[in-house]
Amino acid sequence: MSDKDLPQLCLITPAEIDLETFSDALSSVLDAVETACIRLSLATRDEDRIARAADAVRLVAHDRDIPVVIETHVQIAERHGLDGVHLTDGARSIRTARKALGADAIVGSYCGNTRHEGINAGEAGADYVAFGPVGAVALGADAVADRDLFDWWSAMVEVPIIAEGGLTLELVESLAPVTDFFAVGDEIWSSEDPAAAAKRLLAPIL
């Protein structure tokens, strides 16, 4: 595998962030590991808090020419100058989001471990499809998106794919030949040094 074929990083924010300190933490990770995209993924439903987080993340990311997508909130993406949206319902909302955000926006979708849902998302115009979890998470082993799915997709479909959820060093090494991106979030933010944790986790592609 040549360097240009190595998967890239999509960095997922923590579900809860401290707006006073997160910009520095985010900057340290971005300075340590080359990042292709940032996904703002917050647990709160407080639109004001989400909007303020969107502004903070955008400032750090755009200063480094890194695009930002936000999970689900199409209107916030539009109002706050973000680069697109990450949907969580397969193919169902892609056309609506595309109409709202325009042809140049990034519109991607999480499709679990379902090849059929991924194909539908691609046909609906998704810029990428995310599959997961690829490792052990709270959802349980039955929901895991296995390597065969990525192997088939990378051979048969041109739409870029993201591997995410429960990533380990071993999974990064195994999936690197058959995915375009790794989406990393909880795997590093629980560490005292997220930047160092990212470098350890992604060592096979750095």
What share of the chain in percent tops pLDDT 90?
A: 94
Alpha carbon distance 181, 61 (integer Å): 18
CB under 8 Å to 81, separation ≥6 — which residues?
Answer: 58, 62
pLDDT of residue 174: 97
Q: Does residue 25 form part of some domain?
A: yes
Q: Does residue 85 form part of some domain?
A: yes
Q: Does residue 26 form part of some domain?
A: yes
* pLDDT tens track for 113-123: 999 999 999 99
Q: Does residue 206 form part of some domain?
A: no
* pLDDT tens track for 129-161: 999 999 987 654 558 999 999 999 999 999 999
* pLDDT tens track for 83-129: 999 999 999 999 999 999 999 999 999 999 999 999 999 999 999 99
Its domain, for residue 56, covers: 3-201
pLDDT of residue 89: 94
CB under 8 Å to 197, separation ≥6 — which residues?
Answer: 187, 188, 191
Q: Does residue 90 form part of some domain?
A: yes
**Do β-strands 84-87 and 37-40 pair in parallel, antiparallel, or remain unpaired?**
unpaired
Alpha carbon distance 69, 149 (integer Å): 25
Using the predicted structure, report yes or no on whether residue 178 has a pLDDT greater than 60: yes
Q: Specify the pTM.
A: 0.94
Q: Does residue 164 form part of some domain?
A: yes
In total, how many domains does the chain have?
Answer: 1
Q: Does residue 22 form part of some domain?
A: yes
CATH number of the structural domain spanning residue 52 = 3.20.20.70
